[in-house]
Amino acid sequence: MDLKWNFDFEIAALAFEVVLLIFYFAKRHLPTKQNRYFILAMVSGCISTFMDMLSALMDVYWRNVPMELLHLVNILYFMCIATNVLLLFIYVLSVTNQLDVVRTPLFLVYCIPYLLSVIMSLATPYTGALYYFDSVKGYLHGPAGSTNYILNAFYLVLAAVYVVVYRKRISRLHLYSLVSLFVLLCTGSVLQALFFPWVLLTNAFSCFAICIVYLSLQNPDLYIDKETGLFNRDGYIEYLKELIGSGAEYSFMAICLDNYRSVRTVFGEDKAYKALQEAISYVRKNYSDDHIFRYSDDTYVVLTPEKYDVEQAMEYGRKRLEGGFMVDGEQIKFSVVFIVMPYDMMDGDLKRTQNIFDYSLKSVADGVKGNIIVDEELILSSRRRNDIEIALEKAIERRSVQIYFMPIFSPITDKMERVEVLARIFDKKVGFIPPREFISEAEKNGSIISLGRHIFEKTCEFIKDQEPGSYGVGRISVNLSAMQLMQEGMAEEFIRISNKNDVSMESISFDIAEVIDTDKDRIAERNMKKLAEVGAEFALNGYGSGYSSLENIMKLPISMVKIDRALVLSYFEKDSQLLPDVIEMFRNQNLKIVLVGVETKDMARRLSVMGCDYLQGYFYSRTLPARDFVALMKRTGR
């Protein structure tokens, strides 16, 4: 009786693989090696499925087919299977970022099982190792059939080892997809070899596995920005990772439309979008679509392994983009900042490269003028900012932020009646971090909320343990940011913290550096009023160094104003005589006044008669750690 096979599963699998290939090639995909190896694996899978069906069909009707053709088709089938498994292994190397192995002698060792499979396939017509044809029964499996399975399984096992070893370098989604790939390939092989030898299943399960990988890892839509048709931010990260991993030189230029938000506000969303499309069309005409990425609404990156004249590109780009675009009869112009990262300034590390780029983007957001060309100074600044961010996160997590104290004296009693709490961070790697640096970083990344809560908790713990009120220190001032005040439930949280430590809010004063626009941010006003109702005091910090609305000062529950050191010093340096008038203005509003920056005895004497309530500065005391401040209280307190 002739051997019969069931082709149903593989017919469906081949049709699906062909459709998948057509859809894949119909869409733009990233020019990465990972994509190229995936394409090779898909094409190889299609060919393997087709050759499996063709060889099985010929083996069924072996009497009607020339023996030479039978051997040729079967040899090609076994070679295709071996090639497909090897390509899948190389694809796994690309996903785990280990493609460098391909260029090492170790890969030649890895190729030995593949070469043995090929040699075995080519020799089978003479040796009958993998198959042979019986004059009665036709096609029969040879004695080395199981050996060939083992040689092919070697690559699946090796790929699984790489995934396990380097699992921390790939995302969870990638890990699950690769595990599914291995499970399906193994399941198909076991089912066909042990349970359904007459049903062609192996390539059908391979098709299912490729489909899962396509949908979760290799779907081109994952990396396409739907609004512009360009590659998106995820595509940028993948391609940059590829370029850095390969060690190839590349050109990096970012185009930042730094007035795009204002354009949308002035001209409306529709017109701004049309102008943006015109700008993108210009960039597309000058660079390949495969190398343009939309990083954000107003930032586009040209990332290519090809070198070009960057200076000329920036000059032409600026002229065209700032020249404007006619949209519905209106001229819309973009303000442009270019960021260029020369290859020789990069150190081949994806995370550090991205940190440098993000730092440059923050500089654009902060209003830097002119183009940004990454140099050694910028790289050092970027690294320090990154180190500070890490140190800040670590300090908050470990509750290692320290509080220091700046005494505030009364010119009438000449005693310390108040104190301002100041945060300090000391990191093993960075050392002492000035408050202006970590506070600025905390406000930018949002950790100022956790930082502020942590400082307030430590302040309450200090009040509970040391009882500064018994030494004549009436209130301890704690700085609050606008971001903290605009958090729903902030007041209730701070009240819970004070109650937990048995600390009365009447011993707390909150310093706010910015005055909130109460017409827009009613949350901040509500938080301030709730805290004021339980006895907390609010002081406007740093008046004279920014732009504070006097109208809002009157609306909010502010009972004290701290006049900035700059305004005080300008009075003594004869640059400005505003100080007495400012003091008089606030006194007329029944506000207490603190003058900051008192450095000499003469300054203290002259300021004392101006009608201020408190004086603060190095003349009285420098900022003190908790231990020294406690000693000062015990020495001077009543």
Q: Alpha carbon of 124 to those of 130, 137, 479: distances in Å? A: 6, 18, 83
| Domain boundaries along the sequence of the chain | 8-221, 224-374, 401-632
* Cβ 434 vs Cβ 456: under 8 Å: no
- Tens digits of residue pLDDT in 39-78: 999 999 899 999 989 998 898 888 899 999 999 999 999 9
Question: d(Cα 385, Cα 629) in Å, to the nearest integer?
Answer: 31
pLDDT of residue 317: 86
401-632: CATH topology: TIM Barrel (3.20.20)
- Interhelix angle 310-323/269-286, rounded to 10 degrees, is 150
- Tens digits of residue pLDDT in 577-602: 788 988 998 888 889 999 999 999 99
Q: Residue 491: which pLDDT band, with cuts at 50, 70 and 90?
A: very high
How crowded is residue 117: how many other Cβ atoms within 10 Å of its Cβ? Answer: 25
Residues 6+ apart with CB under 8 A from 138: 2, 3, 59, 60, 62, 63
Report the half-sphere exposure of 263 (CA within 13 A, side-chain side).
Answer: 24
pLDDT of residue 550: 63
Rounded to whole angstroms, the maximal C-alpha distance in the chain is 122
Alpha-carbon torsion angle 309, 314, 319, 321, nearest 10? 120
8-221: CATH topology: Rhopdopsin 7-helix transmembrane proteins (1.20.1070)
pLDDT of residue 126: 93
Closest among 43, 42, 70 to 56, alpha carbons compared: 70
Q: Which residues pair with 543 in a beta bridge?
A: 563
372-373 sheet: strands from edge to edge: 292-296, 299-304, 251-257, 336-340, 372-373
Question: d(Cα 281, Cα 287) in Å, to the nearest integer?
Answer: 10
Q: Which residue has the tokens 């007035």?
A: 259
Residue 448 in tokens: 């100022």
- Tens digits of residue pLDDT in 496-511: 999 999 999 999 999 9
pTM passes above 0.85: no
Question: d(Cα 295, Cα 299) in Å, to the nearest integer?
Answer: 5
What type of residue is 31? P
pLDDT of residue 544: 63
How crowded is residue 324: how many other Cβ atoms within 10 Å of its Cβ? Answer: 15
What type of residue is 171? S
Whether residue 272 is predicted with pLDDT greater than 50 in this model: the reply is yes
* Cβ 73 vs Cβ 58: under 8 Å: yes
Q: Residue 1: which pLDDT band, with cuts at 50, 70 and 90?
A: very low
Question: d(Cα 408, Cα 572) in Å, to the nearest integer?
Answer: 20
CATH of 224-374, one of 3.20.20.80, 3.30.750.200, 3.10.180.10, 3.30.70.270: 3.30.70.270
pLDDT of residue 158: 94
Whether residue 308 is predicted with pLDDT greater than 60 in this model: the reply is yes
- Tens digits of residue pLDDT in 139-160: 888 898 888 888 888 999 999 9
Whether residue 536 is predicted with pLDDT greater than 50 in this model: the reply is yes
Higher pLDDT, 555 or 251: 251
Local structure of residue 430 (DSSP, 8 states): T
Question: d(Cα 91, Cα 123) in Å, to the nearest integer?
Answer: 29
Residues 6+ apart with CB under 8 A from 337: 256, 258, 364, 368, 370, 371, 372
Residue 36 in tokens: 């190229």
End-to-end CA distance of the chain: 112
